């Protein structure tokens, strides 16, 4: 089947930057306490002090060399890292939000088209920018240098003409790297990527692709798009687009959100396969949602949970509270019950969990999006 009939066409005239801070939480802690620089730093509760519970929020690159990664049970980190090197620090989200706000102010000096994905990650559309700079690369380099000079933190960036390619570039360059993907370089760049580097390719999908003889982006590019869509459905359509570097999603400026809700969500790599691990993250979300509501004296009447699995199937469920609340416990009780109605997603592995509270009393409330866990 003709590819033109299946896939949209790219707009190669856009200039998109994906900025990703390097081990953000851990780097903020190291900047605050330089003695941690040569330690294997894990952000999360020390499981040796709380009965073996807890998960790794993130860790520095030293800890990653031992195989530690985010969403891993914290007790496993204890087993992987020598005791003399391991340091646990409880997350200080107030501090992380403060530093993130400074970084975002730097970005808004360049353009108002900034889409926050997390405290440590954002897209910038600099096709038209405040500085009149035609080179997206120069803008990205200046931003990276400013963050390092003024905050002492490292970041990586990717530059290309869409969000997918820009993000692939920033991940390829880490840590403290720069990747620019021009239109005539897309096929070669994607071709040399391992298939598991493509968004949405978890262990199960990876295994299925391997069975088809697909191990790299180059292999994926050789497969008929219709074959991918027929076998993987929605996920296959994304794979077909990504194989050819296609992504039409706009950068949605934070100020344009206009949703009367406060929401937090995160994508997990590797995916989550246990209820306890998922609920640990949901509990964190609810705690910080409470903080944000109380700062604004808001009370929410509805809790919404969003779950996406490795096949890109997504479900959203909501529950109206018996009365408006700004309590993390009310939010968690509802979110937990709603999550349990999606428990079948655990079999395939959960790639994304989001919790949102909405239906506020104040009509004048403007939307706030949090992605700070």
**Angle formed by the axes of helices 136-151 and 93-108, nearest 10°:** 140
Is the confidence at residue 4, as pLDDT, over 80? no
Q: Is the pLDDT confidence value at 262 over 60? A: yes
The answer to whether 158 and 17 have CB atoms below 8 angstroms apart is yes
Distance of CA 336 to the CA centre of its chain: 22
Nearest alpha carbon to residue 331 among 278, 282, 274, 296: 282
Helix runs in the chain, H state only: 3-6, 24-32, 61-65, 74-80, 93-108, 136-151, 163-173, 186-191, 203-211, 217-221, 225-232, 234-243, 275-296, 328-340, 345-348
Beta bridge partners, 266, equal 353
Residues 32, 215: Cα–Cα separation, whole Å? 42
Terminal-to-terminal C-alpha distance of the chain = 43
pLDDT tens digits for 325-370? 999 999 999 999 999 998 888 988 998 899 999 888 643 333 334 4
State yes or no: pLDDT of 256 exceeds 70: no
User: Is 121 part of the annotated catalytic residue set?
Assistant: yes
Annotated binding site for Mg(2+): 20, 120
pLDDT of residue 304: 94
Mean of pLDDT over the chain = 89
Tokens of 328: 């993390």
pLDDT tens for residues 324-337?
A: 999 999 999 999 99
Q: Could you give all domains of the chain from N- to C-terminal order, each with its CATH number? A: 24-92 (3.40.1170.60), 188-253 (1.10.150.20), 257-369 (3.30.1490.100)
Instruction: Indicate the pLDDT class of residue 6, thresholds 50, 70 and 90.
Output: low
CA–CA distances in Å: residue 220 to residues 3, 47, 146: 14, 42, 38
Residue 259 has pLDDT above 60, yes or no: no
Spell out a b/e string for 224-254, using b for 16 or more CB atoms within 10 Å of the CB, else e: ebeebbeebeebbbbbbbbbbbbbeeebebb
pLDDT at residue 59, as a whole number:
96
pLDDT value of residue 52: 85
> Residues at the annotated binding site?
20, 120
Give the pair of three-digit tokens for residue 23: 């081990």
Residues 98-125 pLDDT 10s: 999 999 999 999 998 999 888 899 999 9
Q: What is the CA radius of gyration of the chain?
A: 21
Question: d(Cα 207, Cα 129) in Å, to the nearest integer?
Answer: 43
Q: Quick check: 257 pLDDT over 60?
A: no
Question: Which of 251, 204, 245 lies closest to 18, judged by CA?
Answer: 251
pLDDT of 361: 61
3-state class of 83 per DSSP? coil
Predicted confidence at residue 364, as pLDDT, reads 35
Which single residue is written with the structure tokens 């949209």?
Answer: 8
Contact 209, 234 (CB under 8 A): no
Please identify which of the residues 29, 85, 102, 121 carries the catalytic annotation. Answer: 121
Q: Tell me, what's the pLDDT at 234?
A: 87
């Amino acid at each position: 089947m003709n590819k033109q009939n299946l896939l949209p066409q790219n707009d190669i005239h856009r200039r998109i930057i994906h900025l990703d801070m390097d081990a953000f939480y851990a780097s903020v802690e190291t900047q605050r306490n330089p003695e941690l620089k040569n330690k294997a730093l894990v952000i999360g509760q020390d499981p040796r002090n709380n009965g073996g519970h807890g998960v790794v929020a993130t860790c520095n690159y030293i800890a990653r060399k031992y195989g530690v990664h985010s969403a891993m049970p914290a007790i496993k980190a204890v087993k992987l890292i020598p005791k003399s090197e391991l340091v646990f620090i409880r997350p200080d989200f107030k501090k992380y939000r403060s530093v993130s706000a400074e970084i975002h102010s730097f970005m808004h000096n360049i353009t108002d088209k900034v889409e926050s994905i997390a405290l440590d990650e954002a897209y910038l559309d600099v096709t038209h920018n405040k500085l009149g700079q035609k080179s997206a690369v120069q803008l990205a380099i200046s931003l990276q240098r400013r963050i390092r000079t003024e905050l002492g933190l490292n970041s990586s960036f990717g530059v290309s003409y869409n969000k997918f390619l820009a993000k692939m570039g920033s991940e390829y360059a880490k840590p403290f790297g720069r990747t620019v993907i021009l239109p005539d370089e897309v096929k070669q760049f994607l071709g040399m990527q391992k298939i598991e580097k493509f968004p949405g390719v978890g262990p199960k999908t990876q295994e299925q692709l391997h069975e088809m003889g697909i191990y790299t982006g180059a292999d994926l590019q050789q497969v008929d798009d219709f074959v991918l869509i027929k076998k993987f459905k929605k996920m296959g359509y994304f794979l077909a687009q990504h194989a050819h570097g296609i992504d039409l999603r706009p950068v949605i400026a934070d100020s344009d959100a206009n949703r009367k809700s406060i929401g937090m969500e995160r994508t997990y790599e590797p995916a989550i396969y246990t209820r306890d691990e998922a609920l640990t993250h949901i509990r964190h979300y609810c705690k910080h949602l409470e903080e944000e509501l109380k700062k604004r004296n808001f009370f929410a009447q509805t809790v919404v949970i969003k779950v996406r699995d490795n096949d890109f199937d997504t479900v959203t469920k909501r529950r109206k509270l018996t009365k408006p609340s700004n309590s993390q416990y009310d939010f968690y009780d509802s979110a937990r019950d709603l999550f349990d109605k999606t428990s079948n997603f655990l079999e395939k592995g959960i790639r994304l969990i989001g919790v949102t509270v909405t239906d506020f009393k104040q009509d004048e409330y403007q939307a706030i999006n949090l992605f700070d866990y």
